[in-house]
């Protein structure tokens, strides 16, 4: 029997139940399909840092496969086109992959399942679908009731074993991935499981940041405040179960405190957005979300291309937002606090459709995750999981609280010359305020 394993957001050998299942074959073709950008909201291609980090994760996976006599075939194109070709050319009997929310992602699975046997495994969440079904279904529309139920009744699945062996690949030509960019000095993170596990150990050691996490997590810089584990969690180089297990080990050795609990709390947010995205399907990408209405009073929304371009370029009238956007494009990362401020600015100050902002984040974030990204954007815009009417941040207050000395703004060149406030007429021609 010859099988194909399609790696998606699980770029690891350890704790990968789908790969273990696929490995019960005589020959195994391991494939990764290089992601295409969602074809909407004027966005094309991946940002340089996202591309680099992904390339490094794939290289690390390739290196880990070599001692097992296996290789990774990286192909370009849409999965609906390239996977059936591979199945035919290599006479594959069955395709295996891991669960991934998102409507394009689901469309690819539906298409493939109508032509060949496809087996989908769930190893990218803390809990199994059955546990969620028994405990948290119907899924609450907001996070807190979900959290309370799972905290009371569920413990995360333990991580599974590494494959002791893998069947050999069918003969194929494999190519090395080109190295495309270097990490920015401000965030020297490398892709791959080894780098992710080193960061996990560093964050969870006896003096590690986890013991102060609750107080430091809003820091705007990476590696100092929050765990900065998201890039590896998002592409699956780290398994969330392994993070939860390491956290429990840390607590049993050094004691639990509010901060260690809070890291688990954040992992439950990730979990919630995953199950919610699966539930919502295409509504994750709709302007009014799954409910079809917008909470709160704000309903203004236009697409004003100059304002959007200025937000993307970090050229707004808000120095902190500019600094954050420069950080994002240069490093591929932004803190949670920073994302909330930048997203709130786009939605509530500039009045732009939140999906344009989400798409720009998708292009650049090295930790891009469809469920967390679109779910958090919906939350800020008031069309998602927020029990209040979306989150509109007062940027001046946020600046005073999180960058009181202006160090972050100076580091990321947030101060720009004040730009004219363009107004457009009914035909979208710009008119300056003097006219």
Ligand X SMILES: Cc1cc2nc3c(=O)[nH]c(=O)nc-3n(C[C@H](O)[C@H](O)[C@H](O)COP(=O)(O)OP(=O)(O)OC[C@H]3O[C@@H](n4cnc5c(N)ncnc54)[C@H](O)[C@@H]3O)c2cc1C
Q: Which residues bind ligand X (CB under 6 A)?
A: 217, 226-230, 233-234, 263, 266-267, 269-270, 273, 335-336, 339-340, 343, 361, 365, 367-369, 372-373, 376-377, 380
Q: Considering beta carbons, is residue 34 or 265 the nearer one to ligand X?
A: 265
Nearest of 403, 379, 432, 376 to residue 318 by alpha carbon: 403
State the minimum distance, in angstroms, from the CB of residue 231 to ligand X. 8
Rounded Cα distance between 256 and 213, Å, is 12
C-alpha 150, offset from chain centre: 22
Nearest of 112, 29, 107 to residue 65 by alpha carbon: 29
Task: Give the tokens for residue 341.
Answer: 């401020």
State the minimum distance, in angstroms, from the CB of residue 269 to ligand X. 4
Rounded Cα distance between 3 and 378, Å, is 38
State the minimum distance, in angstroms, from the CB of residue 34 to ligand X. 18
Q: Considering beta carbons, is residue 70 or 378 the nearer one to ligand X?
A: 378
Rounded Cα distance between 335 and 410, Å, is 17
The answer for residues whose C-beta is within 8 angstroms of residue 266's C-beta and 6 or more apart is 217
Q: Considering beta carbons, is residue 175 or 397 the nearer one to ligand X?
A: 397
User: Which stretches within 332-430 are classed as H helix?
Assistant: 336-344, 354-364, 370-381, 395-402, 407-411
Rounded Cα distance between 371 and 101, Å, is 6
State the minimum distance, in angstroms, from the CB of residue 273 to ligand X. 5
Q: Considering beta carbons, is residue 169 or 314 the nearer one to ligand X?
A: 314
The answer for residues whose C-beta is within 8 angstroms of residue 315's C-beta and 6 or more apart is 309, 322, 416, 419
Q: Considering beta carbons, is residue 90 or 232 the nearer one to ligand X?
A: 232
State the minimum distance, in angstroms, from the CB of residue 427 to ligand X. 33
Task: Give the tokens for residue 348.
Answer: 């509530």
Q: Considering beta carbons, is residue 3 or 147 the nearer one to ligand X?
A: 147
State the minimum distance, in angstroms, from the CB of residue 62 to ligand X. 24
Long-range contacts, 396-403 (Cβ 8 Å, 24+): 398/320, 398/337, 398/341, 399/319, 399/320, 402/218, 402/220, 402/320, 402/337, 403/220, 403/320, 403/323
Between strands 27-33 and 2-7, the pairing is parallel
Q: Considering beta carbons, is residue 30 or 347 the nearer one to ligand X?
A: 347
State the minimum distance, in angstroms, from the CB of residue 128 to ligand X. 19
**Strand locations in 39-155 (E):** 73-75, 94-98, 118-121
Q: Considering beta carbons, is residue 29 or 154 the nearer one to ligand X?
A: 154
State the minimum distance, in angstroms, from the CB of residue 343 to ligand X. 4
State the minimum distance, in angstroms, from the CB of residue 336 to ligand X. 3
Q: Considering beta carbons, is residue 62 or 344 the nearer one to ligand X?
A: 344
Q: At 390, give phi and psi (nearest 5°).
A: 80, 170
Q: 284, exposed or middle or buried, with CB in 10 Å at 0-12, 13-18, 19+?
A: buried
Q: Considering beta carbons, is residue 284 or 380 the nearer one to ligand X?
A: 380
State the minimum distance, in angstroms, from the CB of residue 228 to ligand X. 4
Which three-class secondary structure state does DSSP give residue 302? strand
């Amino acid at each position: 029997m010859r099988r194909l394993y399609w790696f998606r957001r699980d770029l690891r050998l350890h704790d990968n139940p789908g790969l273990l299942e696929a490995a019960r074959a005589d020959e195994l073709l391991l494939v990764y399909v290089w992601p295409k950008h969602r074809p909407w909201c004027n966005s094309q291609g991946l940002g340089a840092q996202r591309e680099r980090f992904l390339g490094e994760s794939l290289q690390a996976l390739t290196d880990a496969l070599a001692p097992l006599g296996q290789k990774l075939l990286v192909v370009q194109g849409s999965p609906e086109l390239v996977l059936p070709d591979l199945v035919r050319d290599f006479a594959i009997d069955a395709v295996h992959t891991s669960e991934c929310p998102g409507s394009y992602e689901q469309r690819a699975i539906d298409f493939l399942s109508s032509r060949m046997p496809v087996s989908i495994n769930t190893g990218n969440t803390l809990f199994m679908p059955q546990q969620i079904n028994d405990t948290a279904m119907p899924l609450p529309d907001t996070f807190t009731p979900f959290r309370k139920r799972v905290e009371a009744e569920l413990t995360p699945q333990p991580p599974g074993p590494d494959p002791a062996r893998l069947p050999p690949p069918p003969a194929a030509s494999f190519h090395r991935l080109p190295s495309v960019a270097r990490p920015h000095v401000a965030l020297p993170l490398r892709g791959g499981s080894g780098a992710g596990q080193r960061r996990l150990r560093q964050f969870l050691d006896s003096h590690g940041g986890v013991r102060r996490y609750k107080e430091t997590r809003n820091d705007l810089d990476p590696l100092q405040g929050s765990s900065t584990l998201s890039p590896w969690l998002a592409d699956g180089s780290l398994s969330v179960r392994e993070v939860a297990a390491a956290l429990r080990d840390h607590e049993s050795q050094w004691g639990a405190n509010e901060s260690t609990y809070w890291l688990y709390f954040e992992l439950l947010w990730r979990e919630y957005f995953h199950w919610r995205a699966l539930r919502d399907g295409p509504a994750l990408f709709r302007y009014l979300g799954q409910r079809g209405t917008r909470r709160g009073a704000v309903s203004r929304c236009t697409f004003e291309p100059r304002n959007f371009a200025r937000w993307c370029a970090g050229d707004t009238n808000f120095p902190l937002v500019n600094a954050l956007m420069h950080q994002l494009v240069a490093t591929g990362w932004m803190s949670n606090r920073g994302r909330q401020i930048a997203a709130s600015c786009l939605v509530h100050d500039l009045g732009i459709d939140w999906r344009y902002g989400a798409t720009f984040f998708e292009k650049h974030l090295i930790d891009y995750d469809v469920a967390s990204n679109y779910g958090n954007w919906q939350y800020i815009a008031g069309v998602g999981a927020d029990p209040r009417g979306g989150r509109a941040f007062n940027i001046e207050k946020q600046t005073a609280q999180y960058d009181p000395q202006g160090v972050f703004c100076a580091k990321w060149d947030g101060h720009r010359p004040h730009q004219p406030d363009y107004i457009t007429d009914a035909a979208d021609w710009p008119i300056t305020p003097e006219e």
